[in-house]
Amino acid sequence: MTTLILVPSLAFVAALLDGAICDLRAFRIPNRVPLLLAASYALALAAGFDAASWPGHLGVGAAVFAVSVLLFSLGVWGGGDAKMLPAAVLWVGPGELPRFLLVMALVGGALALLALAARRVPLGPEGELRDWGRRLAISGQVPYGVAIACAGLDWGLANLLPRLMG
pTM, two decimals, is 0.91
Query: Each residue of 94-141: pLDDT tens digit?
Result: 999 999 999 999 999 999 888 777 767 665 665 555 666 677 777 778
Closest residue by Cα to residue 121 from 108, 112, 130, 110: 130
What is the distance, to the nearest Å, from the Cα of residue 74 to the centroid of all Cα atoms in its chain?
A: 20
pLDDT tens readout for residues 54-67: 999 999 999 999 99
Domain ranges of the chain: 6-165
Phi, psi of 126 (to 5 degrees): -55, 145
pLDDT at 3: 76
